[in-house]
């Protein structure tokens, strides 16, 4: 029987949650400290017409009151680009208005603030949107894009799946059976690992495949929320290693070793790029879920954020057995934006740091076969999408580049001040939407 150190797994989950919380608070200035840096544009919805001026108001608060003589530095720039305005001020009354100007093309103008109070540093950000619904991608679709992926899927389907399932007692009870699963993928000995949760009550159920954000990490050893609603869930990871490790050390070793910058591996060859196995692994996850006796045979969704948001679009585009998708702040969208003077999607393959390595004809061409924009063009199923304008990991310009080419039914829930995270209110909307689709169709 698979041995699982629940105490260590829960400790790892708590650590990751704390790290995530600290990074969000540090990036956007909302924290459990007595000082807050609030940055806000002068339109309540943060939306502007091209040519319309935006004013950002900076307020530095301590115990809810303005901090007199607070020292701040601020920059105004199109996201990820060089600053248009860079200034330092002492705010005699703790408040200041920045006249930031406008934009002449669709996009986003960001005001980022650093404040010093009592010798400590605090930050805040706001981002104004200028007609983002008009943003168009910079990447193009190769003529053989569909042929390339059709051929890859056929080749991968010839590999026997050979699923292995082992019960995880700590995550199972009278209502749910949870299993550690691996299935063959892409090459004879390559695998996809994941955690499958199935209701114990006999019957047929809809299903959700959950695809992961970036990084190298295991399962958090928490029972899935959707299986409690009567939905089969299969939560996968992308790196072909067990998702349950007793002390978590394996993931750190891989992250800092062989899988460091995995998104750059073999980028100069579309047939051997790292994400080829990843994308095909998502299709193989569909193969597995649809083979289960408990699956209802029709209602299947894919669900993810960031890298997982990218994979949700990719999976739905590659496999017509997917009927619905939920996508938060999708990565890997319009990767070549940086080569056209604007922000590109995570992992920022062509920004000023990475361009010296990646700005070659071969790598640019490979990126087109993996850019989420080109999968978004192929979508045929309804989707729920959600993000915010303050995202510094997946720039909203890149996300709108993908969203705007989708012709399938779509819902976009924007909460402007979100960074690279989702508020509970947005998650609740997405969950209500996908459960309604899965249960009532």
pLDDT in tens, 365-399: 999 999 999 999 999 999 999 999 999 999 999 99
Q: How far apart are CA 76 and CA 69, in angstroms?
A: 22
Q: Which of 212, 218, 211 is nearest to 247 (CA)?
A: 218
Report how far apart, in Å, the C-alpha atoms of 202 and of each of 236, 293, 438 are. 24, 10, 18
Per-residue model confidence (pLDDT) at position 33: 87
**Please, what is the end-to-end C-alpha distance for the chain in angstroms?**
38
Which of the residues are catalytic? 306, 391, 420
pLDDT interval class at 186 (50, 70, 90)? confident
Residue-level pLDDT at 20: 38
What was the pLDDT predicted at 71? Answer: 96
Q: Are 312 and 255 in contact (CB under 8 A)?
A: no
Residue that wins the pLDDT comparison between 13 and 140: 140
| Span 170-180, pLDDT tens digits | 999 999 999 99
What's residue 249's pLDDT? 87
DSSP tag of 281: H
Q: Is the pLDDT of residue 364 over 70?
A: yes
User: What does the pLDDT average to over 226-254?
Assistant: 91
Better-predicted residue by pLDDT, 64 or 247: 64
Tens-place pLDDT, residues 38-89: 999 999 999 999 999 999 999 999 999 999 999 999 999 999 999 999 999 9
Distance of alpha carbon 208 from alpha carbon 219, whole angstroms: 16
Q: Which two tokens stand for residue 173?
A: 């009870």
Please give the average per-residue pLDDT across 133-149, as a whole number: 98
Above 90 in pLDDT, residue 294? yes
Domain ranges for the chain, please list them.
23-131, 145-439
Phi, psi values for residue 424, rounded to 5° = -55, -35
pLDDT at 121 over 90: yes
Fold equal for 23-131 and 145-439: no
State mean pLDDT over 352-363.
Answer: 97
pLDDT at 28 over 70: no
The percentage of residues in the chain with a pLDDT greater than 70, rounded to a whole number, is 93
CB-based contacts of 133-136 (< 8 A; 24+ apart in sequence): 133/106, 133/400, 133/404, 134/106, 134/404, 135/106, 135/107, 135/397, 135/400, 135/401, 135/404, 136/401, 136/404, 136/405
The confidence score (pLDDT) of residue 24 equals 34
In this prediction, residue 9 has a pLDDT band, given cuts at 50, 70 and 90, of: very low
Give the least confident one: 51-65, 101-115, 232-246, 324-338: 232-246
- What pLDDT shows up at residue 85? 98
What is residue 129's predicted lDDT score, i.e. its pLDDT? 98
Architecture of domain 23-131: Sandwich (2.60)
- The fraction of the chain above a pLDDT of 90, given in percent, is 90
Give residue 246's pLDDT: 62
CATH topology of domain 145-439: Rossmann fold (3.40.50)
Q: What is the mean pLDDT of the chain?
A: 92
The band of 21, judged by pLDDT with boundaries at 50, 70 and 90, is very low
Query: pTM score, two decimals?
Result: 0.92
pLDDT-based confidence at residue 166 (cuts at 50, 70, 90): very high
Q: What is the pLDDT of residue 30?
A: 41
Pairwise CA distance, residues 390 & 79, whole Å: 9
At residue 7, does pLDDT exceed 60? no
Strand partners for 244: none
């Amino acid at each position: 029987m698979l041995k699982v150190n629940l105490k260590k797994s829960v400790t790892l989950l708590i650590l990751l949650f704390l790290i995530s919380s600290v990074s969000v608070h540090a990036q956007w200035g909302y924290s459990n400290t007595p000082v807050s840096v609030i940055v806000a544009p002068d339109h309540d919805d943060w939306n502007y017409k091209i040519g319309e001026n935006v004013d950002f108001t900076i307020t530095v608060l301590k115990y809810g009151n303005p901090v007199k003589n607070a020292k701040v530095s601020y920059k105004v720039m199109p996201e990820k680009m060089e600053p248009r305005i860079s200034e330092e001020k002492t705010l005699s009354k703790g408040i200041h208005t920045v006249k930031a100007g406008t934009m002449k093309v669709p996009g986003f103008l960001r005001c980022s603030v650093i404040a010093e109070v009592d010798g400590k540093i605090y930050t805040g950000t706001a981002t104004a949107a200028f007609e983002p619904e008009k943003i168009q991608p910079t990447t193009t679709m190769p003529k053989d894009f569909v042929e390339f992926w059709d051929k890859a899927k056929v080749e991968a389907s010839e590999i026997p799946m050979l699923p292995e399932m082992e019960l995880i007692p700590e995550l199972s009870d009278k209502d749910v059976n949870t299993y550690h699963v691996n299935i063959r993928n892409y090459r004879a000995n390559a695998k996809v690992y994941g955690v499958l949760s199935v209701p114990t009550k006999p019957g047929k159920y809809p299903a959700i495949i959950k695809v992961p954000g970036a990084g190298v990490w295991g399962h958090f050893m928490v029972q899935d929320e959707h299986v409690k609603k009567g939905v089969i869930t299969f939560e996968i990871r992308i790196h072909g290693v067990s998702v349950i490790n007793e002390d978590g050390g394996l993931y750190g070793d891989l992250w800092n070793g062989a899988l460091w910058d995995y998104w750059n591996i073999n980028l100069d060859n579309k047939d051997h790029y790292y994400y080829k196995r990843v994308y095909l692994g998502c299709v193989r996850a569909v193969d597995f879920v649809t083979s289960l006796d408990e699956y209802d045979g029709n209602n299947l969704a894919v669900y993810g954020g960031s890298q997982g948001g990218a994979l949700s679009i990719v999976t739905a585009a590659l496999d017509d057995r997917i009927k619905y998708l939920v996508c938060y702040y999708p990565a890997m969208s319009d990767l070549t934006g940086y080569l056209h003077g604007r922000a590109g999607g995570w992992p920022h393959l062509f920004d000023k740091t990475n361009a010296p390595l990646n700005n070659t004809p071969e790598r640019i061409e490979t990126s087109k076969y993996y850019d989420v924009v080109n999968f978004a063009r192929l979508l045929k199923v309804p989707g729920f999408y959600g993000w915010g304008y303050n995202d510094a990991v997946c720039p909203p310009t890149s996300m709108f580049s993908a969203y705007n080419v989708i012709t399938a039914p779509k819902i976009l829930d924007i909460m402007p001040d979100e960074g690279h995270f989702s508020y509970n209110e947005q998650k609740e909307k997405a969950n209500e939407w996908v459960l309604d689709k899965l249960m009532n169709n």
